[in-house]
Structure 1
Amino acid sequence: MSHSSAFRRGLVAALIAYILWGVLPLYFRALHGVPPLELVGWRVVFTLPVCLVIVAIRKQGPELRKAFASPRLLAQLALSAALIGGNWLIFIIAIKNGHVLATSLGYYINPLINVLLGTMLLGERLSRVQWSAVALAGAGIALLLAGAFDTLAVALSLAVTFAFYGFVRKQAPVGSVPGLTIETAVLFVPALVVVWLAAGTPQGSSMTGGGYTPPLLAASGVATAIPLMLFAVAARAMPLSTLGFLQFIAPTISFVLGLTVFGEKLDATRLGCFALIWAAIALYSWDMWRGSRSVSQTPA
């Protein structure tokens, strides 16, 4: 596959993944009665079978076995599993506590972390305009220190865990589906312990309740696996800094949901922070667009 074909494939995968993640607060709103840790446990339990089915359909068993035979790769995927598991838990707790705007802000900040990782650890270079965009985003984060530290704590936790997850997965020499399969396999036993302990509580397991909760929990495997696999495809096909700045799609959707469906309010501090980060995204995206036009117009 040529570089341009791989880039286009990664771009499509990233766009679909970010749209699905953008509407995810609605999914977890419907599961508000399930304790966050138990919900993460069921996500893992139901995601692993989905991954194994896809591995079988795509005949990736040899790649999966090869990955299991590499201690170094297993260590990388164990780390990425811990990062994504932590990210899931933080996100669900935030949604349950009515902090959808904070989660939106976290995924707006995530590109800043991606850019820093890409430049410091992967040798990716930014133009002066792009560094100006990073500075604007940094100013938005600093603004929260003055008047919305609780929002900043949720936002930074989500941004850092997901940025490092993307960084680790980009370095792991394994396909998206086998990689996610191993990640969920690493988390599977702890997840079983969590759901077993939940069954022993006075309220019992959420899977034994009535209504739509059990089927929604069962469907969480598909809802989890599909966007993560798409993201893994994109992370391996695109520069980390470029991938990060496509992410504005998901938090924009969540931002709108937070204001409309969830009825959250924006104070002046949070609005100022969002405005600075939106400006950073616009500036960075404009510079990328200008650069791509310059390349496309250069005579062969």
Structure 2
Amino acid sequence: MGGSKICYIYFVLSQAIWGVLPAFWLLLRQLPPLYTLASRIVWASVFCFLLILQKKLLPDLKGVRQERWQWPYIAGACIFITLNWGAYIYATTQGFILQASLAYFINPIILVFFGGLIFHERLRPVQKLSVVVAATGLVLAFCLYGVVPWLSFFICLSWAIYSMLKKKVRLDSQVSVFIESFSMVPLSLLFIAFSEYHGMGAVGTFQGWQWLLLPATGIVTAIPMMLFSAGVKGVPITTGGMLMYLSPSITLVIGLLSGETITPPLRLTFCFAWVAVALYMYGLYQTIKGLRESGYH
């Protein structure tokens, strides 16, 4: 199998796994969301550290001490990825899976906006229009119904800020993900101990095979990230941009199958988001077409 084909497989698998993750988090809805988040941080750290040992990346990890200029960006990334995962786990375990889906429909559009605002990347008119359309949906939902899907907005915004901070980090991806998780391990262990002491943890709630769900929280979040990192290198931008909508589409179906209903404000926001996505995809097409015409390969 050619290298490009395996990259496509890795990329599609990463999106599919991210898409079905809400079904996994539903298995943990008996636990408080913060307890689940703390467990995910601890086990993701363990899993990432084993990968660092396996790939012999310990020198890279030790070298972070000399890269002090990166520390503020790493700290910021740590904070925002923790907030992002906390909001996502809360959404998927407390009956807001559709809002999680909406967040990742509009996420690429928000990233385009940040790219133009912060990094002064050139935006085509159609890309600017996609940002305006997505924002209009949120504003109309508030004006007509007095409701805004705040969880969607928070998940999307925290991921966008995290992505912007990661552009400044020059570490190996697995090393940086390990640091982001490990820096929160002390607080996570304290919270797990506090929860168990007060009878709000997994002890007395989980039995038998359910205990395997806790270490799985680290594995199921690390594997799609590795697949994505391996696949994105060999998938064209336009194709990757389209395939990235596989994940929120699967999540949308899972939300509906779990019994959630699309409320009028959420329906309105989704409609505007899908129009914005269509504009965003057209903008991607124009960008790639322009690069090809200019002789860029």
Report the Cα offset of residue 55 of structure 1.
0.9
Q: Describe the SS at the equivalent of 1:124.
A: coil
Match of 2:270 among 249, 266, 274: 274
Q: Match for residue 112 of structure 1? A: 109
CA distance in 2, matches of 1:67, 1:164: 22
Q: TM-score, normalised by structure 2?
A: 0.86
CA distance in 2, matches of 1:100, 1:214: 24
Report the Cα offset of residue 127 of structure 1.
1.0
Q: Which runs of 5+ in 1 are unaligned?
A: none
Higher mean displacement: 286-295 or 236-245: 236-245
Equivalent pairs: percent with the same residue?
A: 27
Report the Cα offset of residue 135 of structure 1.
1.7
- Say whether 1:23 aligns with 2:20: yes
CA distance in 2, matches of 1:199, 1:275: 43
CA distance change for structure 1 residues 245 and 194 in 2, over 3 Å: closer, same or farther? farther
Q: Match for residue 262 of structure 1? A: 258
Residue identity in the other structure for 2:269: C
CA distance change for structure 1 residues 83 and 242 in 2, over 3 Å: closer, same or farther? farther
Equivalent pairs, count: 294
Higher mean displacement: 196-205 or 169-178: 196-205
Higher mean displacement: 227-236 or 274-283: 227-236
CA distance in 2, matches of 1:248, 1:226: 19
CA distance change for structure 1 residues 294 and 168 in 2, over 3 Å: closer, same or farther? closer
Residue identity in the other structure for 1:281: V
Q: Describe the SS at the equivalent of 2:175.
A: helix
CA distance change for structure 1 residues 203 and 274 in 2, over 3 Å: closer, same or farther? closer
Q: Describe the SS at the equivalent of 1:212.
A: helix
Report the Cα offset of residue 234 of structure 1.
8.0
Residue identity in the other structure for 1:178: V
Report the Cα offset of residue 248 of structure 1.
2.7
Q: Match for residue 218 of structure 2? A: 221
Higher mean displacement: 103-112 or 67-76: 67-76
Report the Cα offset of residue 207 of structure 1.
8.6
Q: TM-score, normalised by structure 1?
A: 0.85
CA contact (8 A) 1:114 1:244 kept: no
Q: What is the Cα-based RMSD across aligned positions, in Å?
A: 3.2
CA distance in 2, matches of 1:101, 1:68: 41
CA distance change for structure 1 residues 111 and 299 in 2, over 3 Å: closer, same or farther? closer
Residue identity in the other structure for 1:251: P
CA distance change for structure 1 residues 208 and 33 in 2, over 3 Å: closer, same or farther? closer
